[in-house]
Amino acid sequence: MEAPLPPDELIRPWRTATIVASLIAAVELVLLLAGAALLLAKPLSHALMRHAHSAAVVTPAKKTKAPAAAKPHPKPHPVAKPTLARSKTSVAVLNGNGRDGAAAAEASRLHGLGYPIASTGNARRQDYATSVVLYRPGYQAEGARLARDLDVKVVGPLDGMTRKALHGGELAIILGA
């Protein structure tokens, strides 16, 4: 007949199993905490950066004295008065924002203001952020008047656009977003 196991022998396997299970649970907990930290690190850093940026915007800038030798910003040159009437200044209207019918709608608006329309169409690019008025050499005053009429802030000479693209017009407007 076999002898019964002493009480220490019956407890020992359970004690070992409990210690091993506790160690595995501790390692899993550490891995879960590390994973959570990695997942939350990027959104948390972005939130902190936004908070720091908004705090910097709200905080007034330190007042510093300008150096004595600092020159004031040059004032823009005044633009001469237009010599051509609106009815004698033709405009090419180009859609640079990608919205269907924008050039036609703007051409109708310009026609209502008295401008003859040389052409309508799409600009080479469709990603203009703002509208731009361009003028041929000698038509700066008429370009400035068109910009005032349409409340466009950016006015400049033909840049990157040929006179042929104007289809006989003196001015061009590229519609932006």
Domain spans of the chain? 1-58, 86-175
Provide the pLDDT confidence category of residue 59 given band limits of 50, 70 and 90: very low
Measured distance CA(44)–CA(32) in Å, rounded: 18
How far is it, in rounded angstroms, from Cα 113 to Cα 104?
Answer: 14
- Give percent above pLDDT 90 in the chain: 21
Within 8 A by CB and 6+ apart from 98, the residues are: 126, 127
Q: At 22, is the pLDDT very low, low, confident or very high (cuts 50, 70, 90)?
A: very high
Cβ neighbours for 118, distance < 8 A, ≥ 6 positions apart: 90, 91, 92, 166, 167, 168, 169
What is the average pLDDT across 59-88? 63
The mean of the pLDDT values for the chain is 79
Which amino acid appears at position 111 of this protein?
H
Domain 86-175 carries which CATH code?
Answer: 3.30.70
pTM above 0.85, yes or no: no
| Residue 142 and residue 170 in contact, taking contact as beta carbons nearer than 8 Å | yes
pLDDT at 75: 52
